[in-house]
Amino acid sequence: MPHFTATDGTRLAYEEYGTGEPIVFVASWVLDADMWEYQIPYFAERGYRCIALDRRGHGRSDRPSTGYDIDTTSDDLAALLEHLDLTGVTLVGHSFGGAEVARYLARHGEERVGRVALVSAVVPFLKQTDDNPDGLPEAALEATIAQFRADRPKWFARQAQVWYATHLGNDVSPALIDWTIGKCLSASPWATTQLMRSMFHADHRAGLREITVPTLVVHGAADTSAPVALTGRRTAQLVPGCRYVEYPTAGHGLFVTHAEQLNAELLDLLKSRP
């Protein structure tokens, strides 16, 4: 598996399939490049070059003790694009990966980017503040971290079915749920806790307003990890001219449960002019 070196010396792994116009898939918190198995073959077989990154602390990348703030991980994404000298790239980010894409654009601009897809993204701002009164109180973050540290496997097991919104009829096998939990547990516990804090405190509102490339925002109405009223709908109001799509029966894991619809939306985005 190829690697490249981030600015602080961390070795980061990525996968690459197909040839043609590049798409970079940026994974969710606690998941790695393997999460995109319902997307990468679809697009590689249709003439696209698909690249997927293992975030630091995840998958086959190094697990350093530092660098788990949103600025550093978005700089890691920038380092990947520079390493491969990608231009006209479409960035597809899920959950925390969507936040990394937003922060990448805010820090590094759009010179290399042709299009953006924010899928179940944890933007624009989760934390409750005076100018974000409907956000989540910091006590909620600390309570979640306490539960996470007390019994991490139990926490992920409890989240798994609601992640896929199986109560709404989404057909997800017990084996796939077990696979998902295993992937979540494979990420560095230290990294995942630090990233959770960074995710909560990061304010992307100003950066989202500055996006000028074609942007797709996709979210599930039943998403409990990134509640749609706090994230997807507000993001759609901030990004100028974006296309917003909401799936009534989707939870956070819509890249699996609604893969066919999501892939069709992404393909439409790819056919749009940058």
Active site residues: 95, 223, 252
With contact defined as beta carbons under 8 Å apart, do 231 and 179 qualify? no
Of all residues in the chain, what percent are helix, strand and coil, respectively (each to 5)? 45, 20, 40
CB 270 within 8 A of CB 121: no
CB-CB contact of 76 with 55 (8 Å) = yes
Q: In what order do the strands lie in the sheet with 11-17?
A: 3-5, 11-17, 48-53, 21-26, 89-94, 113-119, 215-220, 243-247
Q: Does an H or E element contain 115, and which?
A: strand 113-119
